[in-house]
Amino acid sequence: RAKDLGRNGFQFYSADMNNRMRERLYLEQSLRNAISRHELSLWYQPKLDLSSNTIRSTEALIRWHHPQLGVISPADFIPIAEDTGLILPIGAWIIEDATRQISEWRDKEDQNIRVAINISAHQFGHQRLSEQIIQALESLQLPPRLLTLEVTETALMTHMEAAVRQLQALRDIGVCVALDDFGTGYSSLTYLKHFPIDVLKIDRSFVADIAHDTESGAIVRTIITLAHSLNMTVVAEGVETQAQLAFLKENGCDEIQGYLFCKPLPAGDFLEFLRHHR
């Protein structure tokens, strides 16, 4: 502990704290202006449908292009956005931009591409999330089934009642719900029964060693069976090797996502990838 380190230790500790606080404050300040300065963008990572070998859907992943610091990963700024409440305007921007993109691709392509967006826990605490999404879909006259919401078990738990109510309302009109990072949260099977869920996304920590580690392999196989018996589809995230892909194919996984197939791409590059893949 800092106190036990004596005078010098304490000075070092507080200087370090000070730097981190300043850095954090700086990020917070610039994040406040990121939307109006057009520094945020959605990148798209395709999901490969294993039975047809086609791309039917993609996940939108946010990127922040900071004018001084370059590209900042969502892992570094989404927590700040959540702590400061900035996740509400940023979340609203994500909904708006993703639906605009779905609509644009619909006009350009003869095939509809489905888009998944990630939703933070705090957005469920906000009454208007479902209204916001319904309004965005309606104003662009989009079929709701083209939109998927990816939520983590932890996010569902944070505002359980509000989350279930809003997800149910959205699912009633056709929006899909995917449980993200499945297996890393509470993973109580009760939730699978009570939450309105269409898709399980197997967390990449399980996928990482399915080819070598019998426990991970058994877990992944069990998740696939579980999902199918509950009439859900399964997506494996973080697929990086041919051996992982082979395992997932053999065990009936529906879709895969990962660097092996494609990294997240800017919207324009994604469309090119899609056309090339056909």
Residues forming the site for Mg ion (CB under 5 A): 118, 150, 180-181, 203, 237
Min CB(36)–ligand C2E separation in Å: 18
CA nearest neighbour of 202 among 182, 229, 230: 182
Q: How many residues sit in the footprint of ligand C2E (CB under 6 A)?
A: 25
Q: Does 97 help bind ligand C2E (rule: CB under 6 A)?
A: no
* Alpha helices (runs of H) in the chain, residue ranges in sequence order: 6-32, 74-84, 87-108, 121-124, 129-139, 153-158, 160-172, 189-194, 204-208, 214-229, 242-250, 267-277
Q: Does 46 help bind ligand C2E (rule: CB under 6 A)?
A: no
Amino acid, res. 251: N
Identify the burial level of 248 via C-beta atoms within 10 angstroms of its C-beta, where 0-12 means exposed, 13-18 middle and 19 or more buried: buried
Min CB(62)–ligand C2E separation in Å: 4
Min CB(148)–Mg ion separation in Å: 10
Among the listed residues 10, 54, 74, 93, the single contact to ligand C2E using CB under 6 A: 74
Task: Tell me phi and psi for residue 88, to 5 degrees.
Answer: -70, -55
Q: Does 274 help bind ligand C2E (rule: CB under 6 A)?
A: no
As a whole number of angstroms, the distance between CA 28 and CA 23 comes to 9
Q: Does 26 help bind ligand C2E (rule: CB under 6 A)?
A: no
Min CB(199)–ligand C2E separation in Å: 13
SS3 assignment, position 19:
helix
The DSSP secondary-structure symbol of 113 reads: P
Of 183 and 264, which has the nearer Cβ to ligand C2E? 264
Chain residues that interact with ligand C2E, rule: CB under 6 A = 45, 60-62, 73-75, 78, 94, 117-120, 150, 180-181, 204, 237-240, 257-259, 264
